[in-house]
Amino acid sequence: MRTYPRNSPQAAARIVALALTSDGHVSSAEERVLESLDISDELGLAPAQFARIVQTLCEDQSVAHTPFAPPVGQLDAALLAALINEIDDPALRRKVIRLCIAVTIADDYLADGEIALLVAVFNAWGPKPDQSASHYIPLPGLPRAHARTAATT
């Protein structure tokens, strides 16, 4: 797997690319969500750079002979942890989680690979037992008050 600098737009984009491809395909609904969120601008990437990062991720998985469907379920746990841990900036983590959720729910179905990726990210980045869980991440398409309620339930 190629490496990107810690907390770089490319490292963040790769996590979103994992969410995008974690069910084994990219749906038109997922593409529309990424377009509406302007993922390149959101992460500070040049136009079309996100598409290149997705392509690079798929090439890296292919070269490593990683089965593609679902890639997250088959991705080595240590490698997945290393990729997730390339992001340690709290604000960037929140942004990546928001984008990952938006992509995975875009087609109104959470596949096993999508669930596995989200669980891995939440386990790595979620509040630890000694931290407050008072932070919330607004979900796309939900009114702000509902998002706040959903995060605290």
Write the Ramachandran bin of 12: left for phi over 0, alpha for psi from -120 to 50, otherwise beta: alpha
Q: Cα(51)–Cα(89) distance, rounded to whole angstroms?
A: 23
Q: In Å, what is the CA distance from 109 to each residue of 76, 106, 121, 124, 147?
A: 24, 8, 18, 23, 19
- Domains recognised in the chain with CATH numbers: 9-152 (1.10.3680)
In the predicted structure, residue 29 carries a pLDDT above the cut 70: yes
| pLDDT of 143 | 47
Q: Cα(5)–Cα(102) distance, rounded to whole angstroms?
A: 24
Taking residues 18-42, report their average pLDDT.
91
pLDDT digits over 63-111, tens only?
Answer: 765 444 444 445 678 888 999 999 999 999 999 999 999 999 999 999 9
| pLDDT of 68 | 43
Taking residues 138-142, report their average pLDDT.
56
Q: How confident is the model at residue 23 (pLDDT cuts 50, 70, 90)?
A: confident
pTM: 0.78
In the predicted structure, residue 26 carries a pLDDT above the cut 60: yes
Q: Cα(41)–Cα(60) distance, rounded to whole angstroms?
A: 24
